[in-house]
Amino acid sequence: MKDIVDTITRAYERDAASPPSALTATDIPWSSESMTPAWFTAVLCRNTPGAKVEHIVLGERDDGSTNRRHIELRYNEAGRAARLPERLFCKVADQLLNRIMLGAAGTAQAEVFFFNNLRAKLPIEAPRALFAGFDEESFAYAVVFEDLSDKVAFCDESTVIDRARAESMVTLLADFHAAFHQDPALGTPAVPYRPWPEFWGNLMLHSPGWDDSSRRSIDRMGERVPPPLLARRDEIWPCTEASVRAHAALPQTLMHSDVHLKNWYAMPDGTMGLSDWQIMSIGNWSRDFVYAVTTALAVEDRRAWEDDLLRLYLERSAQNGVGAPSFDEARLLCRQQVFSALAFWTVTLCPAQNMPSMQPEKTSLVFIERLLTSIDDHDALDSFS
């Protein structure tokens, strides 16, 4: 662990005093400030003769697991006539902790590969990148999208997901998982992602203290924790580790792995789309399913709809040619897989080593409460016995 953290730190410190400017399409921008009109011209105008980016306007920073900005471009007449994208959204890693977390865990590389090699092959609603790149020497990373904020509605913890939108989310997951179900290419250079237990182990290695983050977050939640869980809180982390180990013996597919509500958006017709593909891994479908449904839905809606949503997922999987488990088998998997979804949010509320602050506290509190309530509703602490 120390070697790669030291490597990233040295590279960061080498360039931090005077970050290199991005000028050609092969350059990976060190930060959003290092993006130049020449770079945007090379990336966005290559197929439009005479088009040129003349000016850039950077929006305010928004820091989380990545460092994000909205960007406005001003083109010359040829660029305007071609209706090239003027409003963009970019993600970079220009802070040291972000670069360590994304680079050491392999998540920056994972997202870049998805947009450059897999996105176009998938029949799902998800953003398409105008540029995605990772520098193996500096660990700089950048992904640029057309700004969709005036075309879609991005979700947050306060968004009410109705039944139709919940069904759209489940359908998207079933279609995505079916595309890679038991694919021999999983883990090869064609789909070069890590098995979930290995990915998880790498997270624990490079950001020690997830177990302590879990305990501290449960303490911080106070009265939001269902009393039966509070009495058995020492069992939560062992169940988390068991849920991760279980993947090795389960049918495999490609997982998004971080399908919380804030990574979803609604199209004007109500169809749901999924963004933020940086934590992809190889594992069982059930983790994505239970993570999405539990964080997206108000508790009473989740209780009322989750069985029907699970049946819909299984039916859609069967239509896609996937041999689905029985409902009871699937329900057991979901009971077990909720734990590592919880861990993603306890470590967000109380970060482990080498991790930046990633989300507003109010977001973490809502999602942790929903996940804990689901664990209590389904007696999930007893699901491995």
Q: Show the tokens assigned to 361.
A: 């506290």
Q: Could you tell me if 247 and 364 lie in one domain?
A: yes
Q: Could you tell me if 217 and 271 lie in one domain?
A: yes
Domain of 367, in residue numbers: 153-382
Q: Could you tell me if 169 and 291 lie in one domain?
A: yes
Q: Could you tell me if 125 and 161 lie in one domain?
A: no
Supply the CATH number for residue 93's domain.
3.30.200
Last residue of a domain, one of 114, 129, 146: 146
Tally the domains of the chain.
2
* Residues contacting 340, CB < 8 A, separation 6+: 200, 240, 243, 244, 287
pLDDT tens column, 120-152: 999 999 999 999 999 988 899 999 999 998 999
188-210 average pLDDT score: 92
Whole-number mean pLDDT of the chain? Answer: 94
Burial 185-219 (b: 16+ CB within 10 A, else e): ebbeeebebbbbbbbbebbeebbebbbebbebbbe
- Among 104, 95, 135, 134, which residue's Cα sits nearest to residue 117? 134
Last residue of a domain, one of 91, 116, 146: 146
Contact indicator for 112, 143 with CB cutoff of 8 Å? yes
Predicted pLDDT at 249: 97
pLDDT tens column, 207-244: 889 999 999 999 999 999 999 999 999 999 999 999 99
Last residue of a domain, one of 97, 116, 146: 146
Q: Could you tell me if 196 and 333 lie in one domain?
A: yes
Q: Could you tell me if 107 and 158 lie in one domain?
A: no
285-309 average pLDDT score: 99
Predicted pLDDT at 25: 95
| pLDDT level of residue 2 (50, 70, 90 thresholds) | low
Q: Could you tell me if 172 and 285 lie in one domain?
A: yes
* Cα-based torsion angle of the residue sequence 106, 110, 111, 115 in order, rounded to the nearest 10 degrees: 160
279-304 average pLDDT score: 98
Supply the CATH number for residue 202's domain.
3.90.1200.10
Q: Could you tell me if 194 and 281 lie in one domain?
A: yes
Predicted pLDDT at 203: 87
CA–CA separation, 141 and 94 (whole Å): 8
Predicted pLDDT at 208: 84
Q: Could you tell me if 242 and 270 lie in one domain?
A: yes
pLDDT tens column, 7-49: 889 888 888 888 899 999 999 999 999 999 999 999 999 999 9
| Other beta carbons within 10 Å of 381 | 19
| pLDDT level of residue 5 (50, 70, 90 thresholds) | confident
> In the chain, what are the helix, strand and coil shares in percent, each to the nearest 5?
50, 15, 35
Q: Could you tell me if 244 and 331 lie in one domain?
A: yes
Predicted pLDDT at 341: 98
Contact indicator for 344, 297 with CB cutoff of 8 Å? no
Predicted pLDDT at 127: 96
The percentage of residues in the chain with a pLDDT greater than 70, rounded to a whole number, is 99
**What is the model's pTM?**
0.92
329-356 average pLDDT score: 93
Of residues 87 and 5, the one with the higher pLDDT is 87
Judge whether residue 357 has pLDDT over 80.
Answer: no
| Other beta carbons within 10 Å of 303 | 13
Q: Could you tell me if 269 and 329 lie in one domain?
A: yes
Predicted pLDDT at 111: 94
| pLDDT level of residue 189 (50, 70, 90 thresholds) | very high
Q: Could you tell me if 126 and 177 lie in one domain?
A: no
pLDDT tens column, 84-104: 999 999 999 888 888 888 887
309-333 average pLDDT score: 97
